[in-house]
Amino acid sequence: MKVVPLLKRIWPLMPVLASLAFILALLLIFGADPATAFQALWQGAFGSRDRLLGTLAFWIPLALCAIGLMLTFTAGLWNIGVEGQLILGSIGASWVALNLKGQPAWVLIPLELLAAMAAGALWAALSALLKTRGKVHEIFSGLALTNLAIILTNYLISGPWQPPEGGSFRGTQPFQEAALLPRLFDSRFSPLSLVLMSIALVIVAVLLGNTTWGLKLKALGRNSRSAFLLGVSSEREAVIAMMACGALAGLGGAVRVLSWFDSLRQSISGGIGFLALLVVMLSAYRMFWVPFVAFFFSAVLQGSITLQLRTQLHSSLGGILTGVLVLLTLLFGDYNHLRRLRKESRPDE
């Protein structure tokens, strides 16, 4: 009987160990030296000041999306459209940056951020209303709206917002310096974005843990029928949760155009919205773990770029590692949950 508590304690490590073993096997198959590979990965993520700042810069929008998703996941909503909401945020921020000329940074930046949050929230509201009014599942509307967002980006880049020297499908012309977020040491990392992300983290954590609204979301996510009977308005709360998530994703989109890049680009999101879904799942839907897991993802993905340069292995190895880790985590699940499934029972009447 002593095995069980021990197993329980090390259970969360199982998927980590298993995915490391999987990657190890993959490296050996391709004839790479695992030690070199992992060292390159580490170097790539944290090896120098610039690399560390790069990892931080990639982390911020990812964490913002994941924090927003905590709201929708808690309410039982599969907000797959977070990717599109992030892209719309980029477009919103770009619109302000390109159209308000000659304004100082302290006017431009708040307006850009607000426009980004509004655009993301609007895109999410479409998904939410399609669900509550049109009975369209948010997964399908989210995917469709994400595609529309990509098409809209391409249209803007090649059409109305193309650089004066002609459209190249690559991006708009770089924004005016005053429109960009102030960055540290010429890197892509903006300390202001870290501050905003931290504020978002605290606000969402408090909302979920200590407010009646957060409790309502939790109730909806677990049993919407009972929640309705207890007086929770499912439509209202679902729309608000989706819009709040969209606003945070939109803020992430603004960070992408205003500090990671300096213009609206073709693949502006870098898949961050979809990655954020994985981050939240790997965090077991716990707020505490979200920033750490997002940071881990960012480090692995940044590190694998160096991995490619050093070992000739493709940089998608980082993607494989995170993907396998999420799959295995979902597969192994929560030990207590698995046990419950086995013995779903109570002392009965």
Partner 1 sequence: MHIELRDIRKTFGDVRANDGISLAFEPGRIYGLLGENGAGKSTLMKILAGYQPADSGRILLNGQPAHFATPADALRRGVGMVYQDPLDFPPFTVLENYLLGRDRAVNLDFRQAAAELRAILDRYGFAVDMDAAIGSLSLGERQQLELVRLLAGGAQALILDEPTTGISASQKDALFATMRRMAAEEGKSIILVSHKLEEIQELCGHAFVLRKGQLVGETALPCPNRALVEMMFGQVPERTPRPPAAVEQPLLEISGLGVRTQRLTVGDINLSIRRGEVFGLAGLEGSGQALLMKAVAGLLPAASGRIALDGLDITHLDYHQTRAAGVAYVAAGRLEEGLIAGLSLTEHILLAAPRRDQTFFIRWGAARETTSGRIALCEVVGVPDSTAEQLSGGNQQRMLYAMLNEGLRLILLDQPTRGLDVRSADYIWELLYARRREGTAILFYSPDLDEIIERSDRIAVFSGGVMSRIVEAARTTADELGHLIGGQQ
Residue 227 is a binding residue for partner 1 (CB under 8 A): yes
Residue 349 is a binding residue for partner 1 (CB under 8 A): yes
Q: Which residues within the stretch 307-346 sit at the binding site for partner 1 (CB under 8 A)?
A: 343, 345-346
Kindly state the smallest distance separating residue 241's Cβ from partner 1, in Å: 16
Residue 218 is a binding residue for partner 1 (CB under 8 A): yes
Residue 210 is a binding residue for partner 1 (CB under 8 A): yes
Residue 232 is a binding residue for partner 1 (CB under 8 A): yes
DSSP-based three-state secondary structure for 171: strand
Among 211, 266, 267, 316, binds partner 1 (CB under 8 A): 211
Question: With respect to partner 1, which residue has the nearer C-beta, 14 or 281?
Answer: 281
Tokens of 189: 């990392």
Kindly state the smallest distance separating residue 1's Cβ from partner 1, in Å: 11
Residues 6+ apart with CB under 8 A from 126: 141, 145
Residue 223 is a binding residue for partner 1 (CB under 8 A): yes
DSSP-based three-state secondary structure for 73: helix
Amino acid at 101: K
Kindly state the smallest distance separating residue 243's Cβ from partner 1, in Å: 18
Q: For the beta carbon of residue 154, count every other beta carbon within 10 angstroms.
A: 13
Give the C-alpha separation, 152 to 71, whole Å.
27
Question: With respect to partner 1, which residue has the nearer C-beta, 102 or 347?
Answer: 347
Give the C-alpha separation, 53 to 348, whole Å.
57
Q: Are 301 and 319 in contact (CB under 8 A)?
A: yes
Dihedral of CA atoms 199, 203, 205, 210 in degrees, nearest 10, equals: 150
> Looking at 2-10, 42-50, 188-196, 229-237, which segment touches partner 1 (CB under 8 A)?
229-237
CA 323 vs. chain centroid, Å, equals 14
Question: With respect to partner 1, which residue has the nearer C-beta, 216 or 256?
Answer: 216
Under rule CB under 8 A, how many of the chain's residues touch partner 1? Answer: 25
Among 38, 46, 228, 335, binds partner 1 (CB under 8 A): 228
DSSP-based three-state secondary structure for 48: coil
**Which residues here bind partner 1, judged by CB under 8 A?**
210-213, 215-216, 218-219, 222-223, 225-233, 343, 345-349
